[in-house]
Amino acid sequence: MTDATSQNSVAGNERRTSSLYTLDARTRRRNAAETRFKIYGMTAVGIGLVFLVILLVTIVRNGIPAFTQTSFDMPVVLEAEALDPNGNRDPADISKVSTFGYNPLIEQALERLVAEHGIETEMSGADLRKMVSSGAAAQIRNTVLANPDLIGETVTFRVLASSRVDGYMKGRVTRDDLARDKNLDAEHLNIVDVLSEEGGLERAFNWAFITGSDASESRPEQAGIGVSMLGSLFMMLVVLLLALPIGVAASIYLEEFAPKNRWTDLIEVNISNLAAVPSIVFGILGLAVFIQLVGLPQSAPLVGGLVLTLMTLPTIIISTRASLKAVPPSIRDAALGVGASKTQAVFHHVLPLAMPGILTGTIIGLAQALGETAPLLLIGMVGFIASNYPDGITAGFLSPNSAMPAQIYEWAKRADPAYYERAWGGIIVLLLFLMTMNIIAILLRRRFERRW
């Protein structure tokens, strides 16, 4: 060997003009090609990262304002003549005064508030009311109805500022923008400036955005994503309860029991194809089958859940089969060897070992379904104002509701720019959910995954 090597090297010496340490032209070219390839790779990754950063920065920058809301303290005199004309504090009489009956009280309260702060203005009370959310009247009315003894007293309410005032506090609305805006004048902003300087008017964290219900177009300051979050929750329950058992049963059968023949091959190919079918196809299927044929209610989370189940099944089946395959045959052989039946071997030994993989696949499938909008467009979960909390679990499945991505789409369509901000805020909430689900999937995998 040594001889042969030395002979070779002697023979090579005639060809080689330099040592290994000085690179010849060919090596240099090969090295350059490698460096170039590395640069391409890094550029590709870099471009991806830049876009990700741009995306996240845009989402956060546009969406963060939705999580704060401007409100201010307003002492309101609850005049007995206006609220309880008969003076007998009868709840039936008091509830006859509609929210419109409370508007004059708000107007007077605003006039007093402005006067107290020494602001001179020629605006009437009705003009001043543009600063306050139109939901304020309902807020005061509900307080009075719950507590009729308050009538005749002066109570300080913390009311939401209107969306334009809120936009001004967030820097979205400028004085120039208001020049032709009939919803607010620059004069209002002078008052807002004084109120925020002297305290009383401030931006605070907006819990109502997370737990609240959708609101009409005239009061975006009150809208929240809570109800559609429940809609999504009920849909995910349907998906989980249907897709997990069906998907796991189908894949166990296909993987462990089914004979390998043309039919099972066909089924296998079709399952892989189904995973690639655009989700809108499942939406139109849901519309045709679940709503028009079976007669299930439109806009119901149950139908949404069924459609998303169809969409998620292939994902779950494929990942379940992959994790069943990953369990080494020696486990099955050992179980069969000590006399277990095939069913016992699968359910006592193979399935528990495959479980982490199955759960990971399921969670990722669910996360995909949570963010899905296209099939929901067709079954009426878009274009719907989710303003009612479902009362009870049955209603949660059957009464019309929206879903988080559908709600975001709905907000993005609305006229008031304040809703645009809320759409971005909704995206942040949705992304947080998706991130949580993916993190859980990763943790499960880390914790329970076994390698053989």
Nearest Cα to Cα of residue 192 among 215, 224, 170: 170
Residue from 176, 260, 329, 447 that binds another protein (CB under 8 A)?
A: 176
Q: Where are the alpha helices (DSSP H) in 276-350?
A: 279-286, 301-325, 329-337, 342-344
Should residue 389 be labelled a site residue for another protein when binding is judged by CB under 8 A? yes
CB 226 within 8 A of CB 212: yes
Number of residues interacting with another protein: please give it, by CB under 8 A.
Answer: 55
Residue from 121, 143, 183, 190 that binds another protein (CB under 8 A)?
A: 183
Should residue 415 be labelled a site residue for another protein when binding is judged by CB under 8 A? yes
Residues 122-141 that bind another protein (CB under 8 A): 126, 134, 138, 141
Should residue 429 be labelled a site residue for another protein when binding is judged by CB under 8 A? no
CA 234, CA 396: separation in Å to the nearest integer?
7
Of 11-19, 79-87, 282-290, 392-400, which part binds another protein (CB under 8 A)?
392-400
Should residue 400 be labelled a site residue for another protein when binding is judged by CB under 8 A? yes
Q: How far apart are the first and last CA of the chain?
A: 40
**Least distance (Å) between residue 59 CB and another protein:** 18
Using CB under 8 A as the criterion, what x/- string covers residues 225-254 for binding another protein?
Answer: -x---x--xx--x-----------------
**Least distance (Å) between residue 251 CB and another protein:** 25
Nearest Cα to Cα of residue 319 among 271, 256, 375, 267: 271
Should residue 385 be labelled a site residue for another protein when binding is judged by CB under 8 A? yes
Residue from 416, 427, 428, 429 that binds another protein (CB under 8 A)?
A: 416
Residue closer to another protein (CB basis): 237 or 434: 237
| CB neighbour class for 329 (10 Å; exposed up to 12, middle 13-18, buried from 19) | exposed
Query: 């007998």: which residue's tokens?
Result: 88
**Least distance (Å) between residue 216 CB and another protein:** 4
CA 309, CA 321: separation in Å to the nearest integer?
18
CB hemisphere CA count around 148 (13 angstroms): 13
Other CB atoms within a 10 A radius of the CB of residue 163 amount to: 27
CA 241, CA 257: separation in Å to the nearest integer?
24
Residues 34-93 that bind another protein (CB under 8 A): none
Of 52-60, 148-156, 217-225, 340-348, which part binds another protein (CB under 8 A)?
217-225
* Contacts for 450 with CB less than 8 Å, ≥ 6 apart: 353
Should residue 218 be labelled a site residue for another protein when binding is judged by CB under 8 A? yes
CA 206, CA 163: separation in Å to the nearest integer?
13
**Least distance (Å) between residue 84 CB and another protein:** 16
- Residue 171 phi/psi, 5-degree rounding, is 80, 10
**Least distance (Å) between residue 273 CB and another protein:** 31
Q: What SS3 state is found at 205?
A: strand
Amino acid (one-letter) located at 388: N
Q: Which two tokens stand for residue 408?
A: 């975001």
Residue from 361, 396, 405, 426 that binds another protein (CB under 8 A)?
A: 396
Residue from 31, 343, 388, 436 that binds another protein (CB under 8 A)?
A: 388
Binding site for another protein (CB under 8 A): 95, 98-100, 126, 134, 138, 141-142, 173, 176-183, 211, 215-219, 226, 230, 233-234, 237, 295, 297-299, 380, 383-385, 387-390, 392-394, 396-400, 412-417
